[in-house]
Amino acid sequence: MKALLVCDYREGKLLDTTYELIAFADKLGVAKAAVLVGSEAAVPQFDGTVYLAEASALGEYNPAAHKAAILAAAEKEQPDYIVFCHSSYGWDMAPRVAAGLKAGQVTEVTALVDGGFEVGCCNAKMRRSIKPATAKTVLTIQAGAFTAVQPAGSATVVKLDIPADSKGVSFSGYEPAEAKGVDLTKAEVIVSAGRGVGKKDNIPLIAELAKALGGELGASRPVVDSGWVEHSHQVGTTGQTVSPKLYVACGISGAIQHLAGMKKSDFVVAINKDKDAPIGEVADVLVVADVLQFVPALTAQLQK
C-alpha cells in the first residue's frame, strides 16, 4: 500500500503541517511519496520521492493546475491513498482530486479505526466511521490529530511540467491578518468567551474573570465575527494557537477549529449549560452551569 502526500505550501514556504502527513502515513503503515506545488527550497525532508511543480509558474492558488500536478503524481505512483492536511488548501483541493480520480473522499480524519477512518460530525458531538468503496481514497487529516514527525532524510525530486491553465480562476495575492493587539501565546491564563455568553454587554463579566485570574481575554470565532470582541483575541485555527497554564472556556461549545487552537493548554476548565458540548472532551473540569450566573460567582470567590 502506498500514500501520496500533498504538501501544504504558502508564501514561498513549506508549512510544518506537511510533517503531520508523514506521521499519518507511518501510522497507516504504508509506503509514501509526496507532491509539492512549491519550490525546490521547500521540498520536505524525508526518504522518498517528491514530485515538484513550480508555484512560481502555476501560482500558489490555481486549483486547476494544482489538481493537474497532483493527478500527474498519482498517475506515476498509483497510490492507494492521496492525503491532504485539512487546511484551507486541502479543504479546497481534495474534492477536486477526488472527482478527478472518481475516488471516495474522507474529510478531516481524526483517527484510524477497524478497516476505516474516523471523523467528527454533528458539530464534533458525534463520530462517524467511513469505509471507502473505491480502490483509491482521498483523505484530509485533522490539524494536530497526528503528531508531526521530526524532519529527517533526503528526498529524490522529480520535476513535473504542468501547463499553467487556470480555468477561470485567478489569484491576486494575500490580505494580511489584522495586526495582533494582544499576544495570547504568551499568556499564562486565558479566559475565553463563546456564543453562550449571549450578547456583547456580557463580555465585561468574562473580562473581569480574566482579570481576577491575572490572565487575558480570549474569544471564539462567532464572538469575534459578531463584533463583541476584537479579532486579536480570537483563539482557534483562524486566530491564535495558545497553550496557557490555565484555559477557561465560557459558553464555548468547542467547534473543532476552536479546539485545535487551545487543546494544548495545561489545564482546561469549561463552563457550559450543555453537558454534551464537545468542549467537554478536552476539559479537565466541566462546570455544567449558566455562564452568566457562574462566572460572576467564580470571580467573587477568587476575590475573597
- The interface with other proteins within residues 128-157 (CB under 8 A) comprises 128-134, 137
Sign of torsion, CA 140 75 157 162? Answer: negative
Alpha carbons 294 and 300: distance in angstroms, whole number = 10
Residue type, 103: A
Alpha carbons 112 and 114: distance in angstroms, whole number = 7
Of 232-251, binders to other proteins (CB under 8 A) are 234, 237-240, 245-246
CB of 133 to other proteins, least distance (A): 6
Contact stretch for other proteins (CB under 8 A) within 36-44, 125-133, 150-158, 198-206: 125-133
Burial label, 292 (beta-carbon count in 10 A; 0-12, 13-18, 19+): middle
Question: What are the backbone angles phi and psi of residue 38, rounded to the nearest 5°?
Answer: -170, -130
Strand 189-193 versus strand 216-219 pairing type? parallel
Instruction: Decide: 246 and 215 in contact? Cβ < 8 Å.
Output: yes
Residue whose C-alpha is closest to residue 261's, from 278, 240, 244, 284: 240
R_g over Cα of the chain:
21
Under the binding rule (CB under 8 A), the answer on residue 300 touching other proteins is yes
Between 73 and 103, CB nearer to other proteins: 103
Under the binding rule (CB under 8 A), the answer on residue 69 touching other proteins is no
Between 155 and 252, CB nearer to other proteins: 252
Q: In b/e form, how buried is each residue of 3-38, taking b as 16+ CB within 10 angstroms?
A: bbbbbbbbeeebbebbbbbbbbbeebeeebbbbbbb
Under the binding rule (CB under 8 A), the answer on residue 30 touching other proteins is no
Under the binding rule (CB under 8 A), the answer on residue 252 touching other proteins is no
Q: Which residues neighbour 176 within 8 Å (Cβ) at sequence distance 6 or greater?
A: none
Contact stretch for other proteins (CB under 8 A) within 21-29, 47-55, 73-81, 208-216: 208-216
CB of 54 to other proteins, least distance (A): 19
Instruction: Decide: 49 and 166 in contact? Cβ < 8 Å.
Output: no
Convert residues 97-116 into a mask of x (bound to other proteins by CB under 8 A) and - (unbound).
Answer: -xxx-xxxxxxx----x-xx
Between 49 and 140, CB nearer to other proteins: 140
Of 49-68, binders to other proteins (CB under 8 A) are 61, 63
CB of 272 to other proteins, least distance (A): 11
Between 49 and 67, CB nearer to other proteins: 67
Terminal-residue alpha carbon distance, the chain: 62
CB of 48 to other proteins, least distance (A): 26
Under the binding rule (CB under 8 A), the answer on residue 13 touching other proteins is no
Q: Which three cell numbers, joined as nine digits, stand for 171?
A: 489569484
Contact stretch for other proteins (CB under 8 A) within 47-55, 92-100, 145-153, 199-207: 92-100
Q: How many residues bind other proteins (CB under 8 A)?
A: 94
Under the binding rule (CB under 8 A), the answer on residue 9 touching other proteins is no
Under the binding rule (CB under 8 A), the answer on residue 225 touching other proteins is yes
Between 29 and 173, CB nearer to other proteins: 173
Between 150 and 170, CB nearer to other proteins: 170
